[in-house]
Amino acid sequence: MPPIDVSRPLRVAIAGFGQAGRCHAETWAMMPDAVIAGVYSQRPDIEAPAIARICGPEVQVYSDYERMLAESGCDFVSICTLHDTHAAQAIAAARHGKHFIVEKPVCLTLEDLLAVRRAVDSAGIRAFVGFQEFHYGQLQATIEAVHKGWLGRVHLAEIEYFNGIGPWVPQHWWARTHKIGRSSMLFCGCHPLMMLMLVMKGVKVAEVEAFATKSGAPDFAGFEYATTQVNLIRFADGRLGKVTSCLDSLHPYYWRNTLIGSEGSLIDTRIMSRVMLPGLDPKGWQHLATRSINDGGDVTPDMFRPMFERILANLRHDEPMPYSGLDEAFEMHRVLFACDEAARTGRPVAPDTSLP
Ligand SMILES: NC(=O)c1ccc[n+]([C@@H]2O[C@H](COP(=O)([O-])OP(=O)(O)OC[C@H]3O[C@@H](n4cnc5c(N)ncnc54)[C@H](O)[C@@H]3O)[C@@H](O)[C@H]2O)c1
């Protein structure tokens, strides 16, 4: 791993300046231990004013990603471009010895996933994936409740994600395409699948089955893939997961967790546990008073700060990186590609095991 000089701020380059890139930039710009060293923009004519406002008028804007890696002096890259360029940009960052965070998904194919993994390992750099929602509030509390053993052994976990990616969403133009959005799971289903993998912490997936369908509403007719996919996941130790990725619901964004274990259950923000605290009514629900994932709406910079603080602590002081490390995301993507293959073929699929 290239040494990180802790006597100066981390020099961060931002690639892509859409909704996610702006959030990354605003967050890094607020942090005392980071400075923005350069921005790669595919549309500098449109994005230059926002880049100058957020990153400062002196920041160098590059229209060539490789040139930014070579000339900006950055230590770290926030890759926030569209899906079809993530893998190549992650591999290039690694080859230049830069640590990086790549927005989800890491890539669009299993081959690219393995190539990113190999590039990171051979460069010895650290890589992170943009799952900021697990670093605070309801989802963090849920993961930690499971890891504390309050539900005992969770044998059934259903994570359901409902969103409506109609033409009213600015990302609709690319999200709907096979070339960039690619599948319901790659566009958004990776979030609930990552949640399932974090809850089941390190247990391997034995096989998956999946089925896909789409809404009859004209709002979603432009999608080049099936917008709703339900995945059944059997873990190697016999436990079960179900992940729903629905991009064509008409109700407001809704994320639903149902976790059933040997000592209790957790459904959304309600928990029942026989072991959490003595004296609690074993038949009643306790309410987790926490920032709900369903209050989120659009992403905002405050949602990224806890994840970025952990990235800095990991790079500078070798502290652990929960929830968003490449290892966990790598395993999740393997399962995701198995789910998409199962939905395509109608057959059960075992995830690839070609890299440990
Ligand atoms: N972690 C999260 O919660 C979260 C939230 C939003 C987006 N994302 C991810 O971040 C990445 C970027 O998404 P986004 O929402 O910022 O996308 P966006 O549509 O807001 O913009 C992304 C970038 O694409 C560039 N671009 C490339 N070709 C273009 C073209 N032909 N026309 C217009 N713009 C073009 C734009 O310049 C812009 O910088 C994606 O991987 C997405 O999945 C993650």
**Residues 214-245: tens digit of each pLDDT:** 999 999 999 999 999 999 999 999 999 999 99
pLDDT in tens, 56-90: 999 999 999 999 999 999 999 999 999 999 999 99
Residue 5: the pLDDT is: 87
CA distance 306 to 294: 18
60 CB less than 6 Å from ligand 1?
Answer: no
Strands (E), the chain: 10-15, 34-40, 61-62, 76-79, 99-102, 127-129, 154-162, 205-213, 228-235, 240-246, 254-261, 264-267, 270-273, 286-287
Domain range list for the chain: 10-129, 134-298+330-345
Taking CA atoms only, the protein residue closest to ligand 1 atom 8 is 20
CA of 172 relative to ligand 1 center, distance in Å: 10
Q: Which CATH number fits domain 134-298+330-345: 3.20.20.70, 3.40.800.10, 3.10.180.10, 3.30.360.10?
A: 3.30.360.10
Residue 312: the pLDDT is: 97
215 CB less than 6 Å from ligand 1?
Answer: no
Residue 327: the pLDDT is: 97
CA distance 103 to 239: 29
CA of 171 relative to ligand 1 center, distance in Å: 7
CA distance 119 to 126: 11
Residue 296: the pLDDT is: 66
189 CB less than 6 Å from ligand 1?
Answer: no
Pull the structure tokens for residue 336. 């995701």
Residue ranges, the chain, pLDDT below 50? none
300 CB less than 6 Å from ligand 1?
Answer: no
Domains 10-129 and 134-298+330-345 belong to one CATH topology: no
Fold designation for 10-129: Rossmann fold (3.40.50)
Q: What share of the chain is helix, strand, coil (3-state, %, to 5)?
A: 40, 25, 40
